Structure 1
Amino acid sequence: MATVSPPWAYTLQLPHDPRAPGIARSTLRAVLRAHCMAELTETAELLASELVTNAHRYAQGPCGLRLRAPEPHRLRLGVWDANPEIPPPFKGALSPPVAEAECGRGLHLVELCADSWGACPLPQGGKLLWVECVRGADCQWGDLL
């Protein structure tokens, strides 16, 4: 049984390090398990991993991960970094990757698996990308095949 009822929030500062996505995933698993939201783990891990990996690839310096449950069945996951450029799916303009593409599929996963998403520039520079997962909603894995 969860010891803290929503709303709750956790913030994790991550260094510019290739291990950051793994640290984010393990932290996320522990938080969701502690709050009896483990059924969101698979989708939330995929989303967090993609956003933190992109922060590491495209921004210099640290990034941050914020986990928040505004309601018992909803998880909002946010990642901020120093790069001010908002990626295409967060601007509503994403074209499907070509079949032979070796990269560029990750943000399609975000689009298919997040129940909602958004982005905003940060006043001090950089950006915040956020996604939401809802208990009972399924990632559209069939669309990926």
Structure 2
Amino acid sequence: MTTAALAPPAQPPEQNASYRFTGPRLPSTPALARHWVADLLRFAGRAHLVDRAELCTSEVVTNSYLHTKSPVMTVEVSLSAESVMVCVHDGAPSLAPQMSPTWADPNSLTLTGRGLGLVDAYADQWSATSDESSKTVWFLLLDDQMVRCAA
């Protein structure tokens, strides 16, 4: 039996803290992870970042689901005053993912291969790291609105 918990925190999320969602490698996990990130950001007063975070989370978690055999994946969201960082960890070490050439070809009839191109377009930064036992793809969303409020 595989389980995942989606209960929101009892208090609004703290700044300079990290939150984790771990789910099984199932077709529903990208949607669950996307909604969890969106709910966390709304609860943290970061609704203005939800659209970009949902899109990028969905693409990165979907890549893990489609291109690895890792039994679980973990999404970690780190909140700071200046940014939101989302890391997707899986147990499938590999070379860093690359954007597909179909991203650059608007005439391509291929329906896949555009995910990391979307992450590249919507995230302020992104990258991937790997070691002997795992891979992490992360993206950063800068929060200009929070920086202006703190000034």
Q: How does 1:1-145 map to 2 (within 5 A)?
A: 3-60=12-69, 61-69=71-79, 71-85=80-94, 86-89=96-99, 95=101, 96-98=103-105, 99=107, 100-123=109-132, 125-136=133-144
Paired with 2:57 and 2:24, the residues of 1 have a C-alpha distance of 15
Deviations 1:31-88 (A, max 9, x none): 111110111000000000001101111111111100011x223100000112222211
Kept after mapping to 2: 8 A contact 1:79/1:130:
yes
Paired with 1:41 and 1:55, the residues of 2 have a C-alpha distance of 21
Paired with 2:59 and 2:12, the residues of 1 have a C-alpha distance of 29
Kept after mapping to 2: 8 A contact 1:97/1:104:
no
Q: Which runs of 5+ in 1 are unaligned?
A: 138-145
Paired with 2:116 and 2:97, the residues of 1 have a C-alpha distance of 8
Q: Which runs of 5+ in 2 are unaligned?
A: 1-10, 146-151
TM-score (norm: length of structure 1)? 0.81
Kept after mapping to 2: 8 A contact 1:58/1:83:
no
Large movers: runs of 4+ above 6 Å: none
Kept after mapping to 2: 8 A contact 1:5/1:72:
no
Secondary structure of 1:68's aligned partner:
strand
Deviations 1:71-112 (A, max 9, x none): 2231000001122222114xxxx6444322221111100111
Paired with 2:58 and 2:14, the residues of 1 have a C-alpha distance of 25
Aligned-pair identity in percent equals 26
Kept after mapping to 1: 8 A contact 2:25/2:73:
yes
Q: Amino acid of the residue matched to residue 56 of structure 2?
A: L
State the match for 2:7 in structure 1.
Answer: none
C-alpha RMSD of the superposition = 1.9
Q: Computing the radius of gyration over CA atoms, which structure comes out larger, 1 or 2? A: 2
Paired with 1:26 and 1:4, the residues of 2 have a C-alpha distance of 16
TM-score (norm: length of structure 2)? 0.78
